Structure 1
Amino acid sequence: MYKTTITPRVSETDAVGHINNTSLPVWFEAGRNPLFELFTPDHDFAKWKMVIVKTTLEFTGQVYFGKDAEIHTWVERIGNSSLELYEELYQEGRLCAKNRAVYVNFNLSQQHSEPIPAPIRAELSKHLRETSENQEGF
């Protein structure tokens, strides 16, 4: 599992003092930075590999300004050219949101998917989510 700490900004709040629901997808994406580095270590967007094809976000609690949040990111499934991530957002120990994201290893210049290389597959395997952690069935 990868862990990323997010410090909420004032600009991410809504009119009632909560973190706006449009901020959470951006926070979850920040939790994927270690994965992006696996596929494109030099961060060169001309050689970018990770293309998102699906995301599903479920809000389970309110998130507030003034308190750090933590993103937990697991690899749930590794396919030939795709991977599915399962993510949770916690604030003060409370589960506030869950997300799934599917990415494809994509060659931008040739416009087609490519198999995930063995060294990257091996690293991703270290972060596989155990099925016993899937207690809520999301």
Structure 2
Amino acid sequence: MYKTIIEPRVSETDGVGHINNTTLPIWFEAARNPFFKVFMPDNSFSSWKIVLANMSVDFLGQIYFGENVEIHTWVKKIGNSSIELYEEAFQGGRLCARGRAVYVNFDMDKQKAVPIGEEIRDALGKHVYKTETVN
């Protein structure tokens, strides 16, 4: 599992007083940076290898400015050319949101999906979602 701490910003707070729902997908993506490094160790866009195919967020509780948020990111499934990630956002020990993102290993020049290599599979395998440890 990858862990990322997010410090909410005033600008992410909406008129109702909580963090706006459009912010969570951005935070979840920020927490995927270690995952991106598995595919592109230099973080270079010229060598970018993955594309987002699908994402969803379930909002379970409100998040507020003034207290950090901890994002947990797991690899839930590794397919032939795709990876499903599972994400959770906690504030004050409360599960406030969970998400799912599917990425495809993609050859930008050929514009097609390509199989995920064994070295990447091995690296991702260290962060596999285990149902008995996750709510």
Q: Could you say whether these structures have the same fold, taking a TM-score greater than 0.5 normalized by the shorter chain as the test? A: yes
Deviations 1:17-40 (A, max 9, x none): 100000000000011000101111
| Aligned match of 2:98 | 98
- 1:72-96 Cα deviation digits (max 9, x unpaired): 0000000111010110000010000
Equivalence for 1:32: 32
Cα distance in 2 between the residues matched to 1:43 and 1:124: 17
In structure 1, the partner of 2:70 is 70
Secondary structure of the residue that 2:122 maps to in structure 1? helix
Displacement of 1:132 after TM fit?
2.1
| Whole-angstrom CA distance in 1 between matches of 2:120 and 2:16 | 43
Q: Is 1:107 paired with 2:107?
A: yes
Report deviation, 1:46. 2.1
TM-score norm. by structure 1 comes to 0.94
2:21 alignment partner in structure 1: 21
Q: Which runs of 5+ in 2 are unaligned?
A: none
TM-superposition CA deviations, 1:73-121 (whole Å, max 9, x none): 0000001110101100000100000101100011111111111111110
Shift of 1:67: 0.5
Is the 1:47–1:107 Cα contact (8 Å) retained in structure 2? no
Give the AA of the match of 1:5.
Answer: I
- Which residue of structure 2 aligns with residue 12 of structure 1? 12
Could you say which residue in structure 2 is the equivalent of 1:43? 43
Cα distance in 1 between the residues matched to 2:74 and 2:42 = 23
For residues 15 and 95 of structure 1, what CA distance do their matches in structure 2 show? 22
Distance in 2, matches of 1:9 and 1:131, equals: 32
Deviation at residue 134 of structure 1 after TM alignment? 5.2
Task: Give the alignment's Cα RMSD to 1 decimal.
Answer: 1.0
CA separation in 1, counterparts of 2:50 and 2:9? 27
How many residue pairs get matched? Answer: 135
Residues 34-72 of structure 1, C-alpha deviation per residue, up to 9 Å, x if partnerless? 010111111221221121101111000000001000000
Q: TM-score with structure 2 length normalisation?
A: 0.96
Whichever residue aligns with residue 32 of structure 1, its letter is R
Q: Percent identity?
A: 59
CA contact (8 A) 1:46 1:108 kept: no
**Which deviates more from structure 2 when the two are superposed, residues 123-132 or residues 83-92?**
123-132
